Structure 1
Amino acid sequence: MTTVIVAGAGLAGLVAARHLARLGLDVQMFEREDEVGGRVRTRRKDGFVLDRGFQVLFTAYPAARRELDYDDLDLRRFAPGAVLAHPGERSVLADPVRDPSTVFGSMANREVRLGDKLRTLRLRRKLARTPNSEIFSGEDEAIEEYLRERGFSDAFRENFAGPFYGGITLDRPLSTSKKVFEFTFKMLSTGDIAVPANGMGEIAEQLARKARVAGATIQVGDGVSAVEPNGDEVNVEVGGETLTADAAVVATDPKSARELSDVESIPTHALGCVTQYFSHAEPLDVGNRLLLNVGDDAPNEVVPLSSVAPEYAPDDRELLSATFLGTPDDSDAELAETVERTLREWYPERTFPDLERVHTDRIEFAQFAQPPGIFDRLPGNRTHEKSVYLAGEYTEASSLNAAMESGRKAALAVYGDLR
């Protein structure tokens, strides 16, 4: 039987393993960590569900719709829009198309001008008719320039687009490719933002179950240390042992993937973030919407996670996450003080006496940078070695959708070549 070794059990690797096994190949997967998921993992602590940094699923993602069972994930959904927060002032900017009950409040919101709201509706209609393949082709420019050229005001860019898309791209100045903006804008216009009831790690667990059912074997705690092509085969070193296969799929993190595959075009310029989790007794008044920091990026956003997914916290506590962009040098305690001070400024009528820091995640590589032109430079799933393939978001874009799409394409490339 044709044998394929998959190095890395992140989303891309898991999807690749499942498709390869379903196509009748003997698939062996190795993961150096003690659990699957890569960056999409969840831990539990004192009754709280803590994802590895603030992560969400866009339910309109095409690859997610194809690969995942949403009913099994038991999704908990955010309300469309966000709360824009200043010291002493909070206002809702929602999506009146998807939530008609907010039409009057959103139209009256002073943070974003009426002209911007009308431009948003026109852009929504335009992108709804634009194929995803067309979005990622053609000329490119930064999001900030893209919005300015289309007449969006400084207020829109600073009060909404900066903090909201800063949370998505980890780039509040909006220097990321406009193709990322158009794709995510389309996804947000046609679907929901959601998290599984048991945490984002359940996405990886579901993919692992599907891969095993298809026939793949998954071994955690043993990582691939070398991938060496050998004629029509490939030698793979795992735990001091050399295994021989017909093909290897490198599905590790970008830095490791570059080292294993010797593909220099794999992007390794990292964007990081720090997410802190807090608990307190009295829920915020924003329901299941996130709070955007209009004033500055410290923190960029605060999210009432257990208001969205009650399973994330014990019944008598609310779980909040607060995310700082980049990798600040401040200590965990100093960042927590900043979060508490910000909440007090947003809610001067409250004191937050029982706010407790639960956990801090410092993630140095949360995404790879996606400046204008990046999509013309990304590698494909095939490498210069005919027995070595790539599966990772870095062949598509930096997103959960891209990771799963890359895994499927890698599997099809392997199967097509070996067949």
Structure 2
Amino acid sequence: MPTTSAPWDVLVIGAGVAGLACAADLLAAGLAVRVVEASDGVGGRMRTDRVDGFVVDRGFQVFNTSYPQARKRLVLRDLRLRPFTPGVLVHSDRGRQRFTDPTRRPRSLPDLLPGRLAGPRDLVALAALSARDLLAPVGQVKRSADRTTRTALAEAGVSEELVERFFRPFLAGVFLEDELETSSRFFHLVWRSMLRGTLCLPAEGIAAVPLALAASLPPGTVRLETPVARLTDEGAETVDAEPLPAPCVVVATGPGPAAALLPGIDVPATRTVTTYYHAAPRSPLREPSLLVDCRRRVLNTCVLSEVVPGHAPAGAALVATSVLGTDSDGRAGIVGQTLTEMYGTDTGRWDLLTVRTVADALPAMPPPQPLSRTTRVAPGRYVCGDHRATGSVQGALASGARAAREVLRDLGR
């Protein structure tokens, strides 16, 4: 039970979406909670900056309206979500081909005619796979045998040609790996969420999501610019040796800081992604669509100002292009050459606005991949985040919710 000497029942370290969800559930149960965050704002990796009049997220991110935890915790209309086209454009040696869900955009049905993107057998296999993931109970999907995504696609009857032409380049941007070695369970859940939901961007940038979560907490719950140096028998201590007493501590950081605060915990390998933001004098693609490359020189690219016009000032366009790994000498030039080919336009007048590299952007999720793991590390010590569940907003929120449940259970609540 909480001690009377501590001002809070629970200290949550980290104000990303996992920590904010955990704090909300603990507060709703009547506990006293303090959230401390090392940086100058909430959100963790979900942050947004303004650069020379452009709205720039810290790495290309999207919001899926079908995530159960997001629908439970957020009023989606308040985010002023702007949708992407329900599908993607694929750049290949055959030119640009469209892969679209025909149930949402019936006029796109001719794009799926045999010989354009896939053969008859692939279309049948894809329809069967999609129907199973869309209609089957989610528990059945979670309990399915786990293997690599590549193996699962082959077993579903999807040809190697379609895998290389569409699934491999598209899912590389989802999983942040291009060998399709990610857990098939996670793939099926992602595919299900895409079929059931809509990929969007908030009008004010991806930071609107954690800001909305933080706004639902009582004033004063979150304390920014408070980096924690270590955990103590009484709670935690900041880098300035300030004590933060609490009988229960939830570490809701990324895997690296979590391992530093809780030595010995199991943390996965992580994926790094870099996004190049270009300011263009005009939009090179007059639609809010994601464009992927069969040759996998980039993960994906899109004109963000076509999704949310307010992301660029009048008379300009904002193009975001992501690649695996970190930035390096000459890479921006290679990206620019690739964009010239993919968009079919001269990019010589485009300005490189900024580059954002996100280390630990996603946990690696090879099979067998547990979709959720206990957050309990030791008596009064817990850890949550997408690295304890699945690499997604849903996974982070669900892990925070699980941490709150385990804290309450241990406290007899």
What residue is the counterpart of 1:22 in the other structure? 28
SS in 2 for 1:357: strand
What residue is the counterpart of 1:345 in the other structure? 341
CA distance in 2 between partners of 1:198 and 1:217 (Å): 23
- 1:136-188 deviation digits (Å, cap 9, x = unpaired): 33421111111112211112111110111110001111011111110010000
SS in 2 for 1:282: coil
Task: Note if 1:227 corresponds to 2:227.
Answer: no
What residue is the counterpart of 2:248 in the other structure? 247
- 1:295-332 deviation digits (Å, cap 9, x = unpaired): x222121111110111111121111111111236x32x
Task: Note if 1:398 corresponds to 2:396.
Answer: no
What residue is the counterpart of 1:46 in the other structure? 52
Task: Note if 1:415 corresponds to 2:411.
Answer: no
Preserved contact between residue 41 and residue 200 of structure 1 (Cα < 8 Å): yes
Deviation at 1:364, TM superposition (A): 2.3
What residue is the counterpart of 1:306 in the other structure? 305
Preserved contact between residue 386 and residue 396 of structure 2 (Cα < 8 Å): yes
What residue is the counterpart of 2:9 in the other structure? 3
Deviation at 1:360, TM superposition (A): 0.4
CA distance in 1 between partners of 2:404 and 2:354 (Å): 37
CA RMSD across the alignment: 1.8
- 1:282-302 deviation digits (Å, cap 9, x = unpaired): 2123511111101x2221211
What residue is the counterpart of 2:222 in the other structure? 218
Preserved contact between residue 73 and residue 202 of structure 1 (Cα < 8 Å): yes
CA distance in 1 between partners of 2:120 and 2:308 (Å): 33
Match of 1:208 among 197, 210, 214: 214
SS in 1 for 2:217: helix
CA distance in 2 between partners of 1:204 and 1:212 (Å): 15
Q: Give the total of aligned pairs.
A: 405
Task: Note if 1:188 corresponds to 2:181.
Answer: no
Preserved contact between residue 288 and residue 308 of structure 1 (Cα < 8 Å): yes
SS in 2 for 1:299: coil
CA distance in 1 between partners of 2:70 and 2:115 (Å): 33
Preserved contact between residue 76 and residue 197 of structure 1 (Cα < 8 Å): yes
Matches within 5 A, 1:251-400: 251-267=252-268, 269-285=269-285, 287-294=287-294, 296-327=295-326, 330-331=328-329, 334-348=330-344, 350-375=345-370, 379-383=373-377, 385-400=378-393
Matches within 5 A, 1:155-174: 155-174=161-180
- 1:42-85 deviation digits (Å, cap 9, x = unpaired): 11111111111111111111111111221111001111111111
- One-letter amino acid of the counterpart of residue 265, structure 1: D
CA distance in 2 between partners of 1:73 and 1:347 (Å): 30
SS in 1 for 2:354: strand
CA distance in 2 between partners of 1:318 and 1:208 (Å): 31
**Aligned CA distance change for structure 1 residues 327 and 136 (closer, same or farther; 3 Å):** farther
Deviation at 1:347, TM superposition (A): 4.4
TM-score normalized by structure 1? 0.92
Preserved contact between residue 313 and residue 319 of structure 1 (Cα < 8 Å): yes
Preserved contact between residue 285 and residue 343 of structure 2 (Cα < 8 Å): no
What residue is the counterpart of 2:129 in the other structure? 123
CA distance in 2 between partners of 1:68 and 1:109 (Å): 43
CA distance in 2 between partners of 1:302 and 1:80 (Å): 15
CA distance in 1 between partners of 2:380 and 2:408 (Å): 11
SS in 1 for 2:11: strand
CA distance in 1 between partners of 2:277 and 2:285 (Å): 18
CA distance in 2 between partners of 1:409 and 1:91 (Å): 42
Structure 2 spans left out of the alignment, 5+ residues: none
**Aligned CA distance change for structure 1 residues 87 and 49 (closer, same or farther; 3 Å):** farther
- One-letter amino acid of the counterpart of residue 73, structure 2: E
Deviation at 1:263, TM superposition (A): 4.5
SS in 1 for 2:218: helix
Deviation at 1:3, TM superposition (A): 1.6
- One-letter amino acid of the counterpart of residue 146, structure 1: A
Deviation at 1:20, TM superposition (A): 1.2
Preserved contact between residue 129 and residue 156 of structure 2 (Cα < 8 Å): no
SS in 2 for 1:28: strand
What residue is the counterpart of 1:140 in the other structure? 146
SS in 2 for 1:274: strand
Point out the more displaced range, 239-248 or 162-171.
Answer: 239-248
